[in-house]
Amino acid sequence: MRACFLPLALLSLTGCHHRYTGPSAALAALAAQGQTDAQAPLQTSQQITISAPPAKVWALLSDIQSWPDWHPKITQVAVGAVQQGSPFSWTLQGMSINSTIEAFNPPQRLAFTGDVLNFHAIYVWTLTPGANGTTQVNLNESVDGFLVSLFYSDADMADAAQSWLTDLNAAADKP
């Protein structure tokens, strides 16, 4: 990932951020339908096959409060009830992200929006039962925002998404 913390800090000091009031209606609608923003400058679609049934994978993924236990890049989570429409915040590599759950369909789909500074993201997790008790997990993401391409690339997003999937796989492998 590019060294972006100083520029992000400068953006925050210049007033290029706002008090979080929730996702835009357009992003929320896309996420609720299990879609990302096809017009966003940054996008990735990553997948992994996990040797665990969807119920076990879903239990890990939908327990948002426990994300830091199995994905060390997330250091803090604040969440109440995990259901459609619920807000939550989380810290990823030092950046505090404000999110809203837009789709909560156990054990198949978890989609949420996320805002940090002037960046707006959609995350769509889809679980599909596979052969012999496995689960195909797809993570689709899009990010838009002022100058976002100066701070991140599609390759950065792909690496981050694959890391998240790999950590989920390792957690699901534990008894």
Quick check: is 73 in a domain? Answer: yes
CB neighbourhood size of 144 (10 A): 20
**Preceding peptide of 107 cis, ω within 30°:** yes
Quick check: is 25 in a domain? Answer: no
Q: From first to last of the 175 residues of the chain, give the pLDDT tens digit.
A: 444 443 444 344 334 444 445 568 899 999 999 999 999 999 999 999 999 999 999 999 999 999 999 999 999 999 999 999 999 999 999 999 999 999 999 999 999 999 998 899 999 999 999 999 999 999 999 999 888 888 888 999 999 999 999 999 999 999 8
| Residue 141: per-residue pLDDT | 97
* Burial 99-117, CB ≥16 within 10 A → b, else e: bbbbbbeebebbbbbbbbb
Burial of 146 (0-12, 13-18, 19+ CB in 10 A): exposed
Quick check: is 128 in a domain? Answer: yes
| Residue 14: per-residue pLDDT | 37
Q: Which domain holds residue 157?
A: 37-173
Q: What is the CATH number of the domain that holds 126?
A: 3.30.530.20
Quick check: is 79 in a domain? Answer: yes
Quick check: is 29 in a domain? Answer: no
Quick check: is 126 in a domain? Answer: yes
The pTM assigned to this predicted structure is: 0.86
Task: State how many domains the chain has.
Answer: 1
Quick check: is 32 in a domain? Answer: no
Quick check: is 116 in a domain? Answer: yes
Question: What angle in degrees, to the nearest 10, is found between the helix axes of 54-62 and 154-173?
Answer: 120
| Residue 165: per-residue pLDDT | 99
For residues 27 and 157, give the distance between their C-alpha atoms in angstroms, rounded to a whole number: 18
| Residue 87: per-residue pLDDT | 96
